[in-house]
Each structure stands twice: as structure tokens, then as C-alpha cells.
Amino acid sequence: MAQIIATTNMKGGVGKTTLCVNLAACLARNFGKRVLVVDLDTQISATLSLMSPQDFVRCRKDKRTLRQLISQVVEPGEPKLYDTSDVICSYVCQQKDLALLPGNLDLYDDYIVSSALHHQALASGGEVDFEEAWSNFERNLVKTILAPLDKAYDYIILDCAPGYNLLTRSSFVASDFYILPAKPEPLSIAGIQLLQRRISRLRKGYEGTPSAMEIELLGIVFTMSGNLFTSRYYNQVMQRVQQDFAEHQVFKTQIPNDTQVARAVDTFMPVVLSNPNTSGAKAFVKLAGEFLQKLEFLGGVKEQKSGMSLANMD
Ligand SMILES: Nc1ncnc2c1ncn2[C@@H]1O[C@H](COP(=O)(O)OP(=O)(O)OP(=O)(O)O)[C@@H](O)[C@H]1O
Ligand SMILES: [Mg+2]
């Protein structure tokens, strides 16, 4: 079964997308895993890190983007054009086992979503109120889109927009784990704390419901910064985070600031594919190894927990 991992931080520009696409490419190239990247951000940075603008325009014209899948969930009465797998581009960057579900500049229209949910609430004969219709939608949107892919991939990595929008919340409900990239700077660290609070509030809201949230922190990754490894200031900031989290919740691998990482976007390929001998690319490969180790460890803990709760049901 595919494991679903969200890359997220409330703060923008901390390296979420770069981490998402490079991690995915490493898992496919260096570790032989089947990986899908899903672009849930209207900035379409993940999409344009893995395909050229011309290819994206073609997908958009054919309605083969996440927008189409979302609108099929929002308006189930409308004719269904595609299954999820029809919209996926396989073999992106000519890399075997690397696939992309392209994003779009508009992923959904607030008005259409609100209106569809309002009608749903009315159609239920007053049994479902608007708030309940909204939270059902939030709970099921990303899950519904990804459900048919369960066996097709080892990992599905979600590139979330900064902030905390509907798609991010829906991604959290659908995910097994989340990775939190952060620059070792105060505002980026504040983004970690804000997100942790939001996730725990979201989790509480679903407690005791059939869709209790599974999502857990896989780890914080310190990304790009000036003299990341030498600056006393950056080290102090990182130490503050390390004090607030368990050792296993912070990745040992850090991603250095490397202009080749940023330049790779010009080639529509992550640096691990376009320039694998650079310091940034090597760090991502190391990170991918640590990612797999962590998943093995935490996946085992999760299985034990669910085994225990099943045993309690006897
Ligand atoms: N390790 C790195 N070294 C140098 N530049 C980097 C590195 N990681 C990311 N960048 C650059 O930093 C900028 C922000 O990175 P990225 O888009 O991944 O952040 P983000 O958190 O996804 O942003 P947003 O919140 O807007 O989605 C980009 O221009 C990217 O190329
Ligand atoms: Mg991004």
C-alpha cells in the first residue's frame, strides 16, 4: 500500500517544493521506489520542477490536472472525464518510476464549492448542516482522489501550499506522515510551531469519528541557509528546535544552501537528476536514505499500535 507523505510548513519559501521533488526523484532513481508527486499548490512549483511549461500547457488544455479531479468530486453530477490515473504523467524527467499529478493555477472555485455543499446540505432534508457538509468534504476530498492509486506507488508525496488552506487540511487527513522543511531562522521556526498547533487541533476535531487522523510527524528537515554548518547563530536556532522535539523527529541530514539546487529549475528537473554530483544533490540522497529508515521504524510503531487497538477490541 502506498504511504502518503505531506511536505508542509505554514511559512512560505522554506524549501518545501524543492525537498518534495528531490526526495521523490531520489527515491525513484537511487532506491528503485515507485513515487508519485502531487502538486496541491496553485503556484505549480512542483509541476514546473518536473515538466516544461509547454508540457504543462498541454496537460492543462486537455484538462489533465488536479483541478479536473477536484471538480469531479465537487460536482459528482457532472460527466466524469477522467479517473485519477488518467491525469498522471508517468516517467517525468525520463525517470523510471517517477510520476506527477500536475497542479493548476486554479485548483477550485470557492463559490462553486460553497454552493455545491450548500445544495448537499439542503438535499439531506435538514439532517446535514452546512458545517457538517463542509467537514465531510474536507475529510474526503484528497482521500477520494488518491484512493485508486493505493497499489500503484510505494510513496505519494504531496506538495502543500504555504499556510493552511482547504487542500492542506484535506491532505493532512489523507496522509500517513508529514515532513516539515524549515530554514534555521526564527520566522521559519514559528511556522513549525503554528503548524503543530493546527494539526493537533485538526486531529482533536476528528477524534472518535470513523476518520480519525493517522498523520504523524516524520521529521523536521533543516534546509538552505547561508553558512548553515558554520554559523553559530543558525546552530543556536536549530538547537532550540531540537530541544522542543524528540531526537527521532528531526532529520540528521541537513540540506545546504547550494545555487545548483535553485538553478536546476531551469532544466525542469530536480538537481538530483540534472546535477547529481553537487553538494545539494548528495544531501538529498542522504536524506532519502534517512527517510526510508525513519519510515521503517515509525511504520513498525504504527502497526504495533493498530495491532494493540485491534487486540483491545476482542
Ligand atoms: N538547498 C537550496 N539551496 C539553494 N536554493 C534553494 C534550496 N532549496 C530551495 N532553494 C530555492 O529557494 C526558493 C524557495 O524554495 P521552494 O520553492 O522549494 O520553497 P517553498 O517552501 O516550496 O515555497 P512556497 O512556500 O512558495 O511554496 C526557490 O527559489 C528554490 O529554488
Ligand atoms: Mg512550494
Judge if the beta carbon of residue 48 lies within 6 A of ligand 1: no
Q: What is the pLDDT of residue 286?
A: 98
112 or 85, higher pLDDT: 85
Mean residue pLDDT across the chain? 90
Q: What is the pLDDT of residue 75?
A: 86
CA of 261 to the centre of ligand 1 (A): 9
Judge if the beta carbon of residue 226 lies within 6 A of ligand 1: no
| Closest C-alpha among 270, 306, 289 to residue 1 | 306
d(CA 277, CA 275): 6
Average pLDDT score over residue span 89-95: 98
- The number of the ligand 1 atom at minimal distance from the alpha carbon of 264 is 31
301 or 142, higher pLDDT: 142
Average pLDDT score over residue span 95-108: 96
Find the domain containing 301 and state its range.
3-313
Q: What percent of the chain has pLDDT over 90?
A: 67
CATH number at residue 276: 3.40.50.300
Ligand 1 atom 6, closest CA = 262
Place of cell 470513523: 210
pLDDT tens by residue, 150-207: 999 999 999 999 999 999 999 999 999 999 999 988 887 888 888 999 999 888 888 8
145 or 211, higher pLDDT: 145
Domains of the chain: total: 1
d(CA 30, CA 210): 38
CA of 133 to the centre of ligand 1 (A): 36
Average pLDDT score over residue span 254-282: 96
- The number of the ligand 1 atom at minimal distance from the alpha carbon of 262 is 31
Mean pLDDT lowest for which of 133-147, 166-180, 209-223?
A: 209-223
Q: Which residues contact 67 (CB under 8 A, 6 or more apart)?
A: 103, 104, 106, 107, 108
- The number of the ligand 1 atom at minimal distance from the alpha carbon of 19 is 18
Judge if the beta carbon of residue 45 lies within 6 A of ligand 1: yes
To test the ligand 1 pocket, which listed residue (7, 10, 11, 17) has its Cβ within 8 A of the most ligand atoms?
17
- CA torsion angle for 276, 178, 295, 151 (degrees, to 10)? -90
Judge if the beta carbon of residue 21 lies within 6 A of ligand 1: no
